[in-house]
Amino acid sequence: MIFVYSLIADFADCIKESDIPDSDCIKNQLFYRSQLEKELRRFPSVGLYEGETKEDWDKFVQYLETVYNDIDGERREVIDKVKIELNKRKQYFDDLLSDIGLNSDSSIRRINNRLSNYICCPEYKQYIDLEANYQKALTLMNQYQLPDSDIRQKILVGLRKKYSEDVCQDKLKEVIDKNQKVVQNGKQQLDDLLLQLQANDKYQRYQLMLQELKAYREEWKKVDSNIGKENISRGKSFEDKCLKEGVDLILRQLKLKKRNVKVLTNLQWAECPGEIDIAIFDKYQTKVLCLAECKSRLFDLVSGYKQSGPDRSPEKQSIKLFQKNIPVPRDVPCYVLTCLPPNDYFLGIESKVKLDLNKYTLESDFADINFDEVYNTLRPKYEKQQSPIKWFEKYSETNLIVLN
């Protein structure tokens, strides 16, 4: 949705002094930046970025282990609560959890991660693979049944190049019947294998473990997922704040008058996928005066600048606006809007680095991860990129606006 920030007067006035009055936020930018810098420096270097070393990475891994072993808030409450419950039947759960290498003193976080990847026996692995193939065939069959489905129409397009319409319909029916047999055979194989599994001692213990831990795992997943929901909500409210306050600060910085510009949000690049949070145009919408990205997480400032700044992807050359594309000069001013953190950061790293690390930390126990291999995998991806603190040192005075 395009949000029109203000009505426009003459573009010639754009170079005149801004009509935005002074505010505490404007006066306190230097102080706000100093607060952000303190927060950035509170965390160790990741060791993956340009100018960082393997020694930095090893120190970061030590810090990461401390963080993952010290979960606070609701998650800590659930971890402690479940541990107490498991210890009420300590001998029973010690025996049951020994199948996955854990015991009643293990955290529900570790138990959940381990169970998510646990294969109790070779037959169960075979069952998982068969079920995946069965579900694909079932989905395909359901799509075939819909007269206007894309896959059905795609098959008909190919058939019509070779056959008459009557023959095409017969050929299509053959394809559908063949897939239906695959579904039926798949269902029979699953049923037969399930009977075998139900007589398997390891599978029976696995099912018992799932049943005994179901409520605890659901409780853990609920509080763990709430962290993400809170972040989404915080990000949305921050974007609203950027429109109400951040744009005024940009206009003042560029000496533009409110009445002489139009501000649009959530625009798309014309040449490739990608959204622009805020774009400031002249009144004719023929010239882009400034771009801005909103980043509520302090550690994602560099990502925001990379999205729309001068080092953005070469494909990003113009903005799609209604029925026309508006060119965006490579050197158009670009700001990143952020805010003073409402609370201390739990993990001081970029979101994209966190996502890459989650592929390992969410699938395995920390002690089981080979972090030398992780380093060798991730280092090539980040070795030519600036770290958040290096970006801050270079651009914070000229391209960063901090909201309170």
Q: And the tokens for 346?
A: 């739990």
CA distances from 322 to 263, 268, 286 (A): 15, 10, 12
* pLDDT, position 224: 74
Q: Which helix (H) or strand (E) holds 320?
A: strand 318-321
pLDDT of residue 227: 55
State residue 340's pLDDT score: 84
| pLDDT value for 16 | 42
Residue 313: the pLDDT is: 92
Cβ contact 209:96 at 8 Å: yes
Sheet bearing 318-321, strands edge to edge: 324-327, 318-321, 262-269, 275-281, 288-294, 334-339, 400-403
Q: Look up residue 206 and give its amino acid.
A: Y
H/E element holding 236? helix 201-241
**If we measure between CA atoms, which residue out of 372, 380, 381 comes closest to residue 58?**
372
Cα angle 129, 131, 136 (rounded to 5 degrees) comes to 100
Cα 262 to Cα 250: distance, rounded to the nearest angstrom = 13
- Containing 262, the helix (H) or strand (E) segment is strand 262-269
Predicted local confidence at residue 55, as pLDDT:
96
State the 10-residue block means of pLDDT for the chain, 404 residues long: 35 44 71 92 94 95 80 78 95 95 89 88 93 88 81 82 86 86 91 94 95 94 65 60 84 87 90 90 90 92 93 92 89 92 77 89 77 96 94 94 87
Tokens read off for 332: 């158009």
Q: Which residues pair with 265 in a beta bridge?
A: 278
pLDDT of 25: 65
Question: Is residue 88 within 8 Å of residue 77, measured between CB atoms?
Answer: no
pLDDT of residue 280: 93
